[in-house]
Amino acid sequence: MANNASVIEDEVMAFIQMKASDDAAFNAMALRLFKHQAQFNVPFQRFCQMRGKTPRTVTHWFDIPAVPINAFKDLDLTCTPTSQCGRVFMTSGTTRGDVKGRHYHPSLRVYDASVRLNFERQLMSQKSKIRIGILFPTVDMMPNSSLAHYLQLALAHFGTPNSQYFMEPSGLDIEALAQVLQQAEKNHEPIALLGASYSMVHAMDALIASGLNFKLPTMSWLFDTGGFKGQSREIEMDSFYTQLSNTFGVPRSQCFNMYGMTELSTQLYDAGNSSTPSVKRGPHWIRTRVIDPISGQDMPKGERGILVHTDLANYNSVTTLLTEDVGIATDDGFILLGRAQGAQAKGCSLAVEDFLQAARV
Amino acid sequence: MTVLQFTAGYVPSIAHEDLAWHTLTYGAGDTRLEVKVPLLTPAQILAVSQHIKSAVRTHIKTMAVSDIVRAIDVAILRLLDVNHEDRKRIDTLLPIATGMDANMLRHHFSEYLQTFRALQLHRFIAEDFSNPKMLDEFQPRITGGWTKAVGADLVTHIWAGNVPGLPLWSLISGLLVKAGTVGKVSSAEPICASIFAKVLADVEPRLADCLSIIWWPTEDVDISSYLFQQSDIVLAYGGNSALSAIQNQVPVTTRFLPHGHKLSFGMVSTSALSVVRAKRVASQAALDIARYEQQGCYSPQMFYVERGAQVSPQEFAQSLASELAALAHKYPRASLSLEEASHIASWRESHEFAMLQNSGIQVLGDKQDAFVVVYSDAPLSLNPSPLNRCVTVVAVDSLLDVMPLLKDQRPYLQTTGLATDPETLLQLGEALALAGVTRICAIGEMTSPAAGWHHDGRFSLADLVNMVDIETSTEEAANQLTHYEL
C-alpha cells in the first residue's frame, strides 16, 4: 500500500479544526494514525513488534506503545522519508551530551494549525492581536528550534505591527526592552512578553540590576516555557512567578507557562500561576496519561507518575510519547512536577546518574 | 493502618526531655513507621563530646582489647537470637524503613552479624596489628624501642543508609581500638546502630558512656562543623558530592576517612561454564545482585563472561535471568520510588532501542519483571546500572580483555566477584590489582566481605589509631638515668 501521507494529513487537519471531540472520535483517529505509523515508520514498526503490540491487537489508544523521547536521538522516527521532510526540529541536547533528538515534519501545515488554534484559545481570548515582545532567538538564529518557530508564528499571527524581538546574536537587548516597556506603560498599551524561562530570568536580573521595574498596563501578560536548563540560576517556581510579577507589574494570574517538547506538535498551557504548581491542559487532539513506568498502567488519581502524551498532531512520527516528566493527573489535565531525576544513590554504590554527574565534572 | 513507633539515637549523657526530637516517617500502604531521632544543639554537641572524651579515658582505654571483644561478642550474640526483643525489633522495623524484603533482610542480617563474633574480631585485629597487645600497652619492637597503638579519643562516623546494618563496621572498628564514638545515622536507616548501642551499653556498662548515636539534617552545617572541630577523626560514607561537602568542613588537624562511590562487577571464566557449574554460578550471582538491591559498594553491576565454553555468555545471561526471576518470588524486590522506577524503565528502553539497531544487545525478561538483564555480544566498558536488580552481562574472548574496559572507572573500582580455576586465579588477581580493584572474592560472597577486609584498600582499624613510638635512644638514655649506680 502506498504511503497515503497527504490523506492522513488532511484527516488530521480536519480533526484538529473541530471544536471538540469525544472519546470515540479521539480513539478512532488515534488508531487510524497508529495503523499508519506502524506501517510506514520502520523503527516504530520494529518497536511495536518487540512489544507485541500491532494494529491487529491494539483496540484502544491506551495500548499504543509509548516511545521514550530518547529514541528520537537514536532513530529516525518518521513515516515520510527524511529526505522528503521539509523541516526537522532538534532538541537542545542537554541530557545526553551532544546527541540531539530529531523530529521530522514533511510539512508544517498541521504543526502550525495546532499552534495557532491552541494559542488563540488559551492566550488570546480577550483580544485578537496584542503587542508581542519576544525574549528568544529568531528562526534565523536557531533554524532547528521548534520554540523559535513557535514564537515566530505567534508573533506573525497574533502580534500587532509594533511587535518585535529583543534578542540579538550577542544576547538580550535590555535597553530596547526597557524602552518598549516604558512606552507601553505610558501609552497604556497592553503587551505580551514571551520567552524561555531562563531568558525571563536573564531579563529580570538585568532590569533589576539597572534599578528598573514596571507596572505594565492591564491585559498585559507574560509567557515562559522550558524551565532553566542550567542556562540561568535555578529558581523555585513559586518565587520565579513572584519575581516576574514584581518586576513587570503583571499579576501572577496573567503569567502563563507553556509545556511543550520538540518531540510533540501540540503545546499544553496553564491558566496562570496564581499558585504553583499549576494545572496544564491541552486541546482536544492531545491526551495525557500519568503512568507507572514499570507496569505502564495508569497511576491512581492523585499519585505521582510519569507523563505519556498521545498527540494526534504528531501524524508523521509517533503519536504516543513516554516522557521523563513527573506529574499528577487531575480531572482535565495534569500537574507538572518536573523532570524525574535519576534515582538518588542512597549510599556508596555508583549509579548511572552519579556517574554522569561525575563524568561532567 | 498501623503506625509503628521507634525512638532512635543514643545519648546517655543528656536526659530524654532535654533533647529536641525530629520525626522521620517511612513506609507506604498499611504499615507506617515513625522514627524519632535526637537533634542536639551546639552546646549539647560540646557537652556530649566532652562527656565521651572523659568516659573514654576512664573506661574503654583502661579495658583490655580482649574485654572489649567479649562485650561486643555478647551484644552480637543477643542480636543473633531471633527470639530476643531487640532482634525482633530490628526484624520488624528494617523492612519498613528500607522497603526491602523481610525474609531476605532477616537471613542476611544474621550472616552479617556472624562477622562480628569474638573469633572473627580477634582475627580482624590481628589483620591490622601484628601484635594485638600493642592496643593495650607499649610493646617491644624487634628493631628496638617500643610501640603502642593509641585509638583516637573521638571518632565521628557519618553513615549511609544504603546497606542495612552498615554502621556496625566502623562502629565496632572504633570500639576495638578504644576510640570514643559519635555516630550520625542516615535518615534511610537509623535503626541498627541505635539498637546496637543500647544493647552494648546494657551488656557492658563500662562502654555505656563511650558512645553516642545522633542525627542532624545534612544542611545543618553548623552542627557538623562544630562536631568535626571536637573530633580527631571523621569517617564518612556516602556519595561523592556529600563527601566533598563534608570534607570542606573538616579541620586540617582532623583526619578525614571517606568511603565514596564504588563500582563492583563479576567475572566468569570458561572453567566455570560447564552446564552444571554455570547454573550454580548464575544462582550465586543472582544472590549477589538481589542482596540489598545492589545498593552496596560491593554489589555487582556488570558481569564479564568468557566465550569458548560449553555454556556461552549469552546462555549464561539467560540462566542469570531465570535465577533472578526465581529469586523475585523468594525475595521480592524492594518497593521502588517513582524516580527509581523511571530510571530503570528508561535504562531498559534505551537498550531495547539498541536492540532494534542490531548492535548485539539483547534485553532479557519482560518489562514487568522485577529485574533487567541486558546481554551484550560486543565488549562494553564497565558502567553502572540503575541498581535494583539491573545488570549487564558482557561477552569477552578472554577475561584479560576486561582490564582495558575498566580503565575509565579506576577511581571507583572496588570488588570483583571471580569464578575461575586455580591456574588463572593469581594471574587475574595481579591484573585486577593493577587495574585498581581492591577486593576479589567468590561470586555469591560479594556482599559479605570477610572480617578484617581492607575496605576500599584501607586499614579499617589501623587508620583509627596513632602509632606512638618510644625510640631505642629513649630506652638507652633511661638506662643512663637509673637511681642506682652501675
The cell numbers describing A72, all together, are 528520537
Task: Answer yes or no: is pLDDT of A2 > 60.
Answer: no
Residue A230's pLDDT is what? 64
CATH number at residue B119: 3.40.605.10
Q: What is the mean pLDDT of residues B397-403?
A: 98
CA atoms in the 13 A half-sphere facing the CB of A96 = 14
Considering A77-81, A339-343, B342-346, the range whose residues carry the highest mean pLDDT is: A77-81
Task: Answer yes or no: is pLDDT of B90 > 90.
Answer: yes
Residue A340's pLDDT is what? 66
- Does B252 lie in the same domain as B269? no
Residue B267's pLDDT is what? 98
Q: Choosing among B159, B342, B382, B383, which should be mutated to test the A contact, i.e. which has the most A CBs within 10 A?
A: B342
Task: Answer yes or no: is pLDDT of A360 > 60.
Answer: no
A110-283 topology per CATH: Rossmann fold (3.40.50)
Residue A344's pLDDT is what? 45
End-to-end Cα, chain A, rounded Å: 52
**3-state class (DSSP) for residue A152:** helix
For the ranges A51-65, A223-237, B23-37, the lowest mean pLDDT is seen at: A223-237
- Adjacent-strand bridge partners of B147: B139, B469
Q: What is the mean pLDDT of residues A42-51?
A: 89
Residue A361's pLDDT is what? 33
Ramachandran quadrant class, A272 (left: phi over 0; alpha: psi -120 to 50; beta: rest): left
Task: Answer yes or no: is pLDDT of A100 > 90.
Answer: no
pLDDT class of A191 with cuts at 50, 70, 90: very high
- Does B328 lie in the same domain as B190? no
- Does B178 lie in the same domain as B56? yes
pLDDT class of A176 with cuts at 50, 70, 90: very high
The cell numbers describing A94, all together, are 542537554
| C-alpha dihedral, B253 to B255 to B260 to B266, nearest 10° | 150
Q: Choosing among B298, B302, B343, B412, which should be mutated to test the A contact, i.e. which has the most A CBs within 10 A?
A: B343
**Minimal C-alpha gap between B270 and chain A (Å):** 28
- Adjacent-strand bridge partners of A278: none
Residues A135, A79 contacting (CB under 8 angstroms): no
Going by their DSSP bridges, the two strands A221-225 and A255-259 should be labelled as: parallel
Residue B142 has phi, psi (to 5 degrees) of: -60, -35
Residues B446, B288 contacting (CB under 8 angstroms): yes
**3-state class (DSSP) for residue B381:** coil
Task: Answer yes or no: is pLDDT of A295 > 60.
Answer: yes
Ramachandran quadrant class, B5 (left: phi over 0; alpha: psi -120 to 50; beta: rest): beta
Which residues does chain A have within 8 Å of residue B349's beta carbon, measured at their own beta carbons? 68, 70-71, 322
- Does B113 lie in the same domain as B69? yes
| C-alpha dihedral, A240 to A244 to A245 to A249, nearest 10° | 170
Classify residue B447: in a domain, yes or no. no
**Minimal C-alpha gap between A313 and chain B (Å):** 24
- Does B409 lie in the same domain as B355? yes
Chain A's closest residue to B347, CA to CA, is A352
- Does B295 lie in the same domain as B238? no
Q: What is the mean pLDDT of residues A120-129?
A: 91
- Adjacent-strand bridge partners of B265: B416
Our count of domains for chain B comes to 2
- Does B113 lie in the same domain as B20? yes
Q: How far apart are CA A35 and CA A1, in angstroms?
A: 12
- Does B44 lie in the same domain as B8? yes
Task: Answer yes or no: is pLDDT of A351 > 90.
Answer: no
Classify residue B121: in a domain, yes or no. yes
Convert the pLDDT of each residue in B324-373 to its tens digit: 999 999 999 998 888 889 889 988 988 888 888 777 999 998 888 999 99
Classify residue B355: in a domain, yes or no. yes
**3-state class (DSSP) for residue B63:** coil
Convert the pLDDT of each residue in B288-304 to its tens digit: 999 999 999 999 999 99
Task: Answer yes or no: is pLDDT of A233 > 90.
Answer: no
Classify residue B397: in a domain, yes or no. yes
The cell numbers describing B30, all together, are 498499611
Residue A262's pLDDT is what? 94
Which domain, by its residues, includes B459? 2-260+454-470
Query: DSSP states of A177-203 as a string?
Result: HHHHHHHHHHHT--EEEEEEHHHHHHH
- Does B282 lie in the same domain as B225? no
The pLDDT mean for chain B works out to 95
Residue A299 has phi, psi (to 5 degrees) of: -75, 150
Convert the pLDDT of each residue in B444-460 to its tens digit: 999 999 878 899 999 99
Classify residue B480: in a domain, yes or no. no
**3-state class (DSSP) for residue B223:** helix
- Does B243 lie in the same domain as B380? no
Chain-chain contact of A50 with B352 (C-beta, under 8 angstroms): yes
The pLDDT mean for chain A works out to 89
